[in-house]
Chains A and B, each alone.
Chain A
């Protein structure tokens, strides 16, 4: 760089030459610089005669000053650059400078040197141009580098232009020619270590063909330790700056090869390996056949750089090709796999066995429809849509059992076992739906599928739906059992009677039928007849004789007496076999114990007799109300004979207004419930309406299903009439009683009123007592009247909404006034509105509270507690009185019930207050109950619904 900086100054010296005298000292200085400069500084005349030649010129061009001074400048001009000289000179004559002009010159040894030249005119002291000075710098290296950069960048573009590396490398080889080499060859190592000439380039296409031919006739000998073989083996580059004739001769394997090599004209060679990812892919060979161009380390460097880029390109291409190939192969394989999978799928979907495949987590990743159905699904998709957790939850719905009815957990299922490494688990499983009780059977065989490492990755389940099979087995077992049972129960015995010898062969069952242990009964017919009930002997003997004589089947029913004196009914059947002369030979037959059915028959007969003879009307009907039987009692009660009503609807005897009631009864009986003593009305045939009490019961078939109902009806018209008369009597009596009470009450009150203004001792008090007693009398009469109303079903409630708490408060207040001895304490409140008959509820409260006071003469308080739950209000009345004995508690709400007994303290009353209270509360949809301990007190609790 220092030299470069100096050049302008050197140029300046040329101008100073005009006045050398004044700058003499400087002249020495400049000469020293010229002498020591690396640049070639040459002076010449306008004709091109060299006038000065510094050491830099000598180094650059190889000539000493002595060799060139006075000689033509053309000495160093290449032939093709001679015109250049004329152009330069013409410019100089016009006084122009030429700066940093790049060209080349010929070295003394003939090779070309790249130079950058700056040429300035030399003038005389008059300013005339007399010559030129040129400063030349060797830019060969720079040029090589530039060429190399250019080459590499172009090579890179080519290499990346395509993944077809045959094409790109051929292009690269062509690119190297002629700037980097006269020949450029690229060789690739094939997979079997053969050398393949990928590309060869020369400026002359004919020579390319010729080189290719050479390679065909003389392949690379990989055993050689030099040249291409060596580079391909070692991966080390080789640089032969100068190839001698000796080297050529040594390497040539034949005269022909030697001739060809000599023809190529090897002067200098570079061989660089193509290495990618430590693999030697091939090599690039650069050959210079120009005796003046010899390769240097710079060339080697460039060649290596090119080789490394080319190697990467080849590698990429190979990788690409490989991956493409792999991809293609994989696609092919996948397609084949898919094909075989499709075929398998078709097979799987059509075979009778169910197939499911589970992954390591247990999730089903494949199933055919049969497999899915065998697990209780409608199709495969339903099963495949389930996650492993879903599947587990799904299985929870089933009670899974094996063929010995032991529960099977999910972990014990064959699929799970296979996943856990069991080689071939299998199980017969019954899936019982916990909700519906439905069940199905599966035979499940599982196999683990292993990966390359021997690890279980999948489990294949082969499932057979064996529900039908299992059901068949079950039925078979059941029918076998039934048959055995039938034999056992029916006690079928067989016999073979030899009619000529009178000997009888009897089966063990036959002996048992007669009450003997097998093998203990005498084998004669005579012995058998002795077991028969005396009353039946004749008929049996007749039946036998008749059948033998008439060639008919023997059949009879008779009784036998066992040794233990028990009597059994036997049905006997038999057939006689005859010889050709119609002589009877033997009779073969069976005996069956029919004691059970005989007894059953007797029971039925007995029942039938009862039904026939009872006074009650017994009718059976279907659930649709069609009459199916009608006993004489029904005939007497309703007046219809059976033929008039059987097959007709029961409504012939039901008054219209009670038909709805009939429907309700049917609904209840359908539910297998009986109704006892239901009181209602029925029509007689003559139109008379009668009171009846009917009990209804369901009639069931063998499968325990209700198929009809039986009713037993009794005429209660007279009883009812009596009740009605009694109630009428009470009603009239109470009315008649009230009239004199009314008169008495008025007079009493009138007298009291008169005495209020004119008092007499005790009179007012006595009159008050009279009034109280009249009040009591009125109340008793009212209660009696209410009872008659309730009995007649005529107790009418005048329902309205009212505030219960207010009513209770009023009631307590009014009772407190008349009962100073007891404090009536109210606790709590209901805060509810009741829909009911305020007067009647009040009546109940008065009744309970007055009872509480009445039956606790020694106590001083009665406590009323109020509370509610979500549907009812609770009112309890507690006293601390005499209490009610446990045995009486259930009866205290009965009509006319009064606690009585030798040890009971008696209180006045009719025993109707609690009955009325209970009836009123029931009519309000509520209930009343008592909790009492004798001598401690009682608590009466009412519960009433609120809205």
Chain B
């Protein structure tokens, strides 16, 4: 899995510290470089010089709707090409995800193997 020298950078946006920790632990173990954000704000400017390969985005972030975050990402010239995977436990998350134009969706709770597979799917463009 970790065949490249430089690990893939994953940005995880979620307001739940437990989730952020768990995702970081799993993805560290799997060999990814993990950056976390718990507010959905200020990450674009910060990461512009070294953008992530993929963004994992929670639908419900305190103070900010995940869909708004997704739209902001898609409006940025640099970030708009980065695939977004929406994560949510909300009953209508699937529909919301589709409506906000994200690339994929994983319902909580998910299997870590599914998480890794989804990341790999979107970070390895078809040859």
- Identify the A interface with B (CB < 8 A): 731, 734-735, 738-747, 749-750, 753-754, 774, 778, 785, 788-789, 794
Contact = CB atoms under 8 A, between A and B. Distances in A.
Interface stretch (B13-21, B68-76, B117-125): B13-21
A753 B60 CA distance: 29
Contacts of B61: none
A794 B91 CA distance: 10
Nearest to B24: A746
User: Which 6 pairs, one residue from A and one from B, show the smallest C-beta to C-beta distance?
Assistant: A738-B89, A742-B109, A746-B22, A743-B18, A742-B108, A745-B109
A341 to B, nearest CB: 92
B23 A746 contact: yes
Given A734-B91, A747-B25, A742 B112 contact: no
B90 interface: yes
18 contacts: A735-B60, A738-B109, A739-B108, A742-B89, A743-B16, A743-B18, A745-B109, A746-B26, A746-B109, A746-B112, A746-B115, A747-B25, A749-B111, A750-B29, A753-B112, A754-B29, A789-B91, A794-B92
A731 B109 contact: no
Contacts of A743: 16, 18-19, 21-22
A739 B18 contact: yes
Given A745-B109, A750-B25, 19 more contacts: A734-B89, A735-B60, A738-B109, A739-B16, A739-B19, A742-B22, A742-B89, A743-B21, A743-B22, A745-B111, A746-B25, A746-B115, A749-B26, A749-B113, A750-B22, A753-B29, A778-B109, A788-B91, A789-B91
Most chain-B CB neighbours within 10 Å: which of A735, A785, A788, A794?
Answer: A735
A739 B26 contact: no
Contacts of B91: 731, 734-735, 785, 788-789
A750 B89 contact: no
Interface in B62-116: 89-92, 108-113, 115
Contacts of B92: 794
Interface string B17-53: 0110111011001000000000000000000000000
A774 B22 contact: no
B65 to A, nearest CB: 15
Contacts of B22: 742-743, 746-747, 750
A750 B26 contact: yes
Contact of A740 (B18, B29, B60, B113): B18
A124 B112 CA distance: 176
B32 to A, nearest CB: 13
Nearest to B115: A746
Contacts of A785: 91
Contacts of B25: 746-747, 750
A750 B27 CA distance: 10
Contacts, number: 61
Interface of B: 16, 18-19, 21-23, 25-26, 29, 60, 89-92, 108-113, 115
B23 to A, nearest CB: 7
B116 to A, nearest CB: 10
A279 to B, nearest CB: 122
Most chain-A CB neighbours within 10 Å: which of B19, B25, B112, B115?
Answer: B112
Contacts of B29: 750, 753-754
A785 B91 CA distance: 7
Contacts of B111: 745, 749
A739 B89 contact: yes
Most chain-B CB neighbours within 10 Å: which of A739, A740, A742, A789?
Answer: A742
Most chain-A CB neighbours within 10 Å: which of B22, B26, B109, B113?
Answer: B109
A259 B83 CA distance: 165
Nearest to A737: B89
Contacts of A754: 29
A741 B112 CA distance: 13
Contacts of A753: 29, 112
A738 B88 CA distance: 9
Contacts of A741: 108-109
Contacts of A734: 89, 91
Contacts of B109: 738, 741-742, 744-746, 774, 778
A794 B110 CA distance: 23
A747 B90 CA distance: 21
Contacts of A738: 89, 108-109
Most chain-B CB neighbours within 10 Å: which of A750, A754, A794?
Answer: A750
Nearest to B15: A739
B110 to A, nearest CB: 7
A742 B26 CA distance: 12
Contacts of B115: 746
Nearest to A743: B18
A742 B21 contact: no
A785 B90 CA distance: 9
B19 A735 contact: no
Nearest to B25: A750
A840 to B, nearest CB: 14
A753 B110 CA distance: 15
A745 B113 CA distance: 11
A916 to B, nearest CB: 14
B15 to A, nearest CB: 10
B16 A750 contact: no
A753 B112 CA distance: 10
Contacts of B60: 735
Contacts of A740: 18
B82 to A, nearest CB: 23
B113 to A, nearest CB: 8
Nearest to A747: B22
Contacts of B89: 734-735, 738-739, 742
A744 B92 CA distance: 22
A741 B89 CA distance: 10
Given A735-B89, A754-B29, A789-B91, A749 B112 contact: yes
Nearest to B91: A785
A909 to B, nearest CB: 20
Nearest to A796: B95
Contacts of B19: 739, 742-743
A794 B90 CA distance: 14
Contacts of B108: 738-739, 741-742
A754 B29 CA distance: 9
B26 A735 contact: no
A817 B109 CA distance: 22
A163 to B, nearest CB: 115
Contacts of B90: 735
Contacts of A746: 22-23, 25-26, 109, 112, 115
A129 to B, nearest CB: 157
A877 B113 CA distance: 33
A394 B73 CA distance: 86
Nearest to A736: B89
Contacts of B16: 739, 743
